[in-house]
Amino acid sequence: MDSWFCDVHTHLTHERFRDDQHQVIARAIEAGLGAIVCNGLNPASNREILRLARAIPQVKPALGIYPTDAVNDMLPDDYPYRVDRFDTRSEIEFIRSCAVKKQIIAIGECGLDGYLVGEETFAAQEKVFEELIALAIEHDLPVIVHSRKREVRCAEILSSLGAKKVDFHCFGGKTKHAQKWAEDNGWYFSIPANARVSESFRKMLSSLPADRILTETDAPYMGPVRGERNEPANVVGTVAFLAELRGWDTADAKKTVWGNYLRLFGEFDSGNSTATS
Ligand SMILES: [Zn+2]
């Protein structure tokens, strides 16, 4: 079996990729990536990701609603980030229609955020998160989870709904929780490209069960060099670091992570999808 590198969580629809999105993707393919899972946040990015995935086989579409976008109608007027106003109900129905047509590889990004927004939004965030998890389970799709400052609550909800195909992206909670959830629930953890400068990601790379580790970038964020734009090709460095930490050959580390990717996400051919959006 050929093995490839994978980036299971990236945002190539971000405005910082507007001028060179295709060069960035070409560099990733050149570096050996077989899967670039683009995660949607809102109606605009969800639709752009579907278009990109139809054009480029290595781009795999995950559609979701970012936790703060899920409460777009509750954000204060002086909220520092640009968030489009949209109806989450109808966006969930759009995502459902894509799942029915087998146009998507996963549900994400979705989850809970307790860093950017306050407690008054938690109940509304949880409602959207629960609906997206239920949709994923119904269509046997993985869920890619954002869990900032709300890791334990995310896990409670995922467990109570019986979610098995789960990837926690850029997990910032306690490493002992990651360890337990990987072992007991079979959940996956995708490690970003800045692992060499992060004590907790280094710890996760060296101690999580080897069959539960994935790589991601969260590009343009979380780059290996602070302040520099990140891109999917940087997962290659994370796989090299995983090999170093475990005393493996790089080829073995690559094979392990690619096997994990296939186990969670399965084979997916965007060209097989039938309908257009
Ligand atoms: Zn993200």
Using the mean position of ligand 1's atoms as its centre, give its distance from the Cα of residue 169 in Å.
8
Using the mean position of ligand 1's atoms as its centre, give its distance from the Cα of residue 86 in Å.
19
How much is the mean pLDDT over the chain?
96
Using the mean position of ligand 1's atoms as its centre, give its distance from the Cα of residue 176 in Å.
23
**What's the pLDDT at 275?**
45
* Position 135 pLDDT exceeds 70: yes
Residue 270: pLDDT band (50, 70, 90) is: confident
Overall domain count for the chain: 1
CATH number, residue 9: 3.20.20.140
**What's the pLDDT at 276?**
44
Question: Is 277 domain-assigned?
Answer: no
Using the mean position of ligand 1's atoms as its centre, give its distance from the Cα of residue 245 in Å.
26
**What's the pLDDT at 219?**
98
Using the mean position of ligand 1's atoms as its centre, give its distance from the Cα of residue 146 in Å.
7
**What's the pLDDT at 66?**
98
* Other residues' Cβ atoms within 10 Å of the Cβ of residue 220: 18
Using the mean position of ligand 1's atoms as its centre, give its distance from the Cα of residue 17 in Å.
14
* Position 210 pLDDT exceeds 80: yes
Using the mean position of ligand 1's atoms as its centre, give its distance from the Cα of residue 88 in Å.
18
Using the mean position of ligand 1's atoms as its centre, give its distance from the Cα of residue 144 in Å.
9
> pLDDT tens across 36-55, in order?
999 999 999 999 999 999 99
Question: Is 24 domain-assigned?
Answer: yes
The residue-averaged pLDDT of 53-76 equals 97
Using the mean position of ligand 1's atoms as its centre, give its distance from the Cα of residue 186 in Å.
22
Task: Say how far apart CA 3 and CA 13 lie, in whole Å.
Answer: 26
Residue 230: pLDDT band (50, 70, 90) is: very high
Residue 274: pLDDT band (50, 70, 90) is: very low
Using the mean position of ligand 1's atoms as its centre, give its distance from the Cα of residue 218 in Å.
5
Using the mean position of ligand 1's atoms as its centre, give its distance from the Cα of residue 41 in Å.
8
Q: Tell me if the bond preceding 192 is cis, omega within 30° of 0.
A: no
Using the mean position of ligand 1's atoms as its centre, give its distance from the Cα of residue 89 in Å.
21
* Position 243 pLDDT exceeds 90: yes
**What's the pLDDT at 58?**
97
Task: Say how far apart CA 100 and CA 245 lie, in whole Å.
Answer: 41
Residue 269: pLDDT band (50, 70, 90) is: confident
DSSP per position, 80-91: SS------HHHH
Which residue range forms the structural domain that includes residue 79? 5-272
Residue 164 C-alpha from the chain's centroid: 16
Task: Say how far apart CA 212 and CA 245 lie, in whole Å.
Answer: 16
Using the mean position of ligand 1's atoms as its centre, give its distance from the Cα of residue 195 in Å.
16
* Position 277 pLDDT exceeds 50: no
Residue 6: pLDDT band (50, 70, 90) is: very high
Question: Is 164 domain-assigned?
Answer: yes
Task: Say how far apart CA 135 and CA 130 lie, in whole Å.
Answer: 9
129-133, 146-150, 253-257, 266-270, range with the lowest pLDDT: 266-270
> pLDDT tens across 79-104, in order?
999 999 999 999 999 999 999 999 99
What pTM was estimated for this model as a whole?
A: 0.96
Using the mean position of ligand 1's atoms as its centre, give its distance from the Cα of residue 23 in Å.
21
Using the mean position of ligand 1's atoms as its centre, give its distance from the Cα of residue 143 in Å.
13
Using the mean position of ligand 1's atoms as its centre, give its distance from the Cα of residue 15 in Å.
14
Percent of the chain clearing pLDDT 70 (strictly above): 97
Determine contact, residues 249/243, Cβ cutoff 8 Å. Answer: yes
